[in-house]
């Protein structure tokens, strides 16, 4: 998950013209970049934030990664900082029945996004996390994502995407953690065919 990319392979993809044995990649860095964080969004930073609680470090890494090469760069940096603070800053969360909740909405350049986070807290410990995100791009592409994880990092992710009347996609992931001496696979084996979900959507729009 450090790369922010999921890889999926299924025979059902034959129905949308994807060749057999092809892996489809889903890059969350690209998807979240559409929400306004730009190319500076990095899933590994989010994972580091979750494990270390280093929010200040995450903010610094995002701001430093943004290009400063035009008269609008300051406004771009400020917009990114304000967005992250409104999503993840201390003031973004309210405590309700032992749970910290944050809600954020942005509508810019034809992209509408709502983002909600809930942390199940026990004192200073986090026992679980839930994230809900909805994105609508000019009414052409929509995406809904639900993520739930407990204190043992057992998680469930569901993603629903649609591209106008051309494509609908539903994915569900379940993950659990166990101790092992083996190194986990982080990408398809060498020589396997990989096609990104972005390229599939681009082809669908071109047709």
Domains: count for the chain: 1
- The domain containing residue 161 runs over which residues? 5-177+192-206
pLDDT of the residue at 37 = 47
Q: Tell me, yes or no, whether 46 lies in a domain.
A: yes
Q: Tell me, yes or no, whether 187 lies in a domain.
A: no
Burial class (CB in 10 A: 0-12, 13-18, 19+), 197: buried
Print burial letters for 120-158: b (CB count within 10 Å at least 16), e (below 16): beeeeebebbbbebbbbeeeebbbbbbbebeeeeebebe
Q: Tell me, yes or no, whether 186 lies in a domain.
A: no
Q: Tell me, yes or no, whether 80 lies in a domain.
A: yes
pTM for the model stands at: 0.57
pLDDT of the residue at 52 = 57
pLDDT of the residue at 33 = 57
Q: Tell me, yes or no, whether 202 lies in a domain.
A: yes
pLDDT of the residue at 144 = 93
Is residue 83 within 8 Å of 36, Cβ to Cβ?
yes
Task: Provide block-wise average pLDDT over 10 residues at a time, the chain (207 residues).
Answer: 72 76 79 52 57 61 66 74 76 84 84 87 81 87 90 87 81 82 83 82 56
């Amino acid at each position: 998950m450090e790369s922010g990319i999921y890889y999926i392979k299924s025979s059902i993809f034959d129905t949308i013209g994807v060749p057999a044995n092809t892996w489809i990649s889903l890059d969350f860095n690209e998807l979240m970049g559409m929400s306004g964080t730009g190319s500076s969004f990095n899933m590994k930073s989010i994972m580091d934030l979750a494990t270390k609680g280093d929010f200040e470090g995450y903010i610094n890494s995002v701001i430093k990664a943004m290009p400063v090469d035009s008269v609008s760069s300051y406004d771009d940096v400020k917009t990114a900082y304000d967005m992250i603070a409104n999503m993840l800053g201390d003031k973004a969360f309210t405590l309700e029945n032992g749970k910290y909740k944050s809600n954020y909405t942005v509508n810019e350049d034809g992209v509408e996004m709502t983002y909600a986070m809930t942390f199940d807290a026990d004192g200073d410990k986090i026992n679980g996390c839930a994230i809900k995100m909805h994105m609508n791009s000019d009414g052409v592409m929509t995406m809904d994502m639900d993520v739930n994880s407990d204190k043992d990092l057992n998680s469930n992710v569901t993603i629903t995407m649609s591209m106008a009347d051309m494509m609908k996609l539903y994915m569900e992931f379940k993950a659990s953690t166990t101790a092992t001496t083996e190194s986990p696979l982080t990408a398809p084996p060498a020589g396997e065919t990989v096609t990104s979900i972005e390229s599939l959507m681009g082809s669908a729009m071109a047709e």
